[in-house]
Chains A and B, each alone.
Chain A
Amino acid sequence: MTNILLVEDSRISRETIASRIACSPDYLLLASIENAANAEIACMNGKIGLILMDVCTADDESGLRAAASIKKHLPGIKIIIMTSMPEHSFLRKAQACGCDGFWYKEYGDAELLDVCGRVMAGEPVWPDDTPAIAVGGAVSRDFTERELAVLRELALGRRYDEIADDLGITSNTVKYHIKNLLQKTGYRSTLQLVVDAVDKKLILPKY
């Protein structure tokens, strides 16, 4: 029997996930919390074996940040990151902070309990790709990593010279990437581009 800590700030999602966990004899939902920043404290008693961690939690606390800290101090605890946001960087960030699995709440066919079982058996479970999101006339998978990095900086309201500094490229290269982004999407301004990318949750810089 594995004790689960559920970190999820939406009551409806919490109850749905809790009812799925209740269906399995292999798991016990030991605690549910809304704020990812409290997760590490809840794990310090050594009873939690698996955390189901949402990314965007109460008080704007990032589940990814909390997961990184837990993996550093309590590496034995398995963590599955869950999200309904198609933000393209979440998958990479979850891998970078040592999480064990990733589950899209609203995309793909993976069943939560199946993902939990595979993770607890020691298998890393990662979706093949982030969900494809239409941005203007393009699909998110049409963008290069560099273009997405520039788009993220634009969404933070950074100027071209600041973007160049942050990414270690020249201002002309920044303009080149932006020109390509506009060409691919068919948008005439960076504002249209950023508004659509943020509206579709392809970019959520706060997390």
Chain B
Amino acid sequence: MEGESGRSIILTGATGFLGAFLMSGLLERGYHVTVLGRPAKNMRLSDRISGLVGWFGLDPGPRLSAIEVDFSKKHLGLDDETYGDLCANAGKVIHCASDTSFAERNRKQVMQANVDSLPSLLDLAVDSRAEHLYYVSSAYACGQCTGLCMETPIKNQRFTNVYEESKAQAEEIIRRSCQDNDVPLSILRPSIVYGHSETGRSLKFNALYYAVRSMLLIRDIFLNDIRQGGGKSKKWGISLDDDGILNLPMKICLPNKGSVNLIPIDYFVATVLRIIEHPGTSGIYHITSDNPPDITTLAEYAQRFLGLRGIDVLWNQSGKNANPNPAEELFDKLFEQYRPYLSDERIFDQSRTRSIAPGISAPPFTYEIFAQCMTYAVACDWGWPLDHSV
């Protein structure tokens, strides 16, 4: 592996959503990127990466290499020679690999991926005398709180789910290790990331996408019923209006007003690159939106996009709909794990990010951006885009 000092980067998580776009951004900027990761099913890491590079329309040549590693093993499971070479040419290290499951039943797997795998990664940072370690955490690692969340280490012990908890634990472990071993560290905390604000392209369709996908499928269930005579739909006051819009009375009950902090992937990449390229950037950075939309706006966007009317956001103390119709009951169930993020009262301080990346900010989340992203998701059938001609 060759590369000039400061232009070599080791990247984990390059087969994930954030990591892949980051890899693309780094390559476009001329970096030499060494991807560390695992094979998947019957596919080698190099093949997975090749597929992604093709999807981004890049031809990085020798500036990109992929090494299959096992984070649960010493020296990443590599032989001494390969590990030695890796350390000798490491440069900067970006740790982007993460398990983003929220489900408590996946606790073991999430903790394993996000926390238990850290020692070998941190050893690499130390053994390679990494110029800098960048850890991609989450704005929500701050845990359950309201009001202003600062770009400081986390003290909270209450978390909404295992993902938040694992990210907070990981931050602490990495911070201490880097402190003890004099490895410069930056912790990058993005909020909820959606697709590209200009093209709508994305590699993952969770979070915001889940809500829209859930509504789309609920819509299709009722449209199917209406096509069959609509006996059950009528019972719930659900009908197809003359203008072709499905009248779907649906209350989304939330405990309090709040916002959904969404940023596009291009903003995330641009900010991270700015942080990486700025000298002396150790610290914690919130990569979030200044002007996050609220759920009412998102519901309006979803209705417009899906050809629906009747969705109503209600604020009440319990946040529960006492007598839900089938659509409401199913939506509540489908979106259960994301519910806490629909009326989020956390505000993210961005002072440090602003100081490093002045002039870069997340674009306002307009309907046009929303529609573009959702159109892309539909074209991908909400699945892995590389499996679709999009």
Q: Do A and B form a real pair? A: no
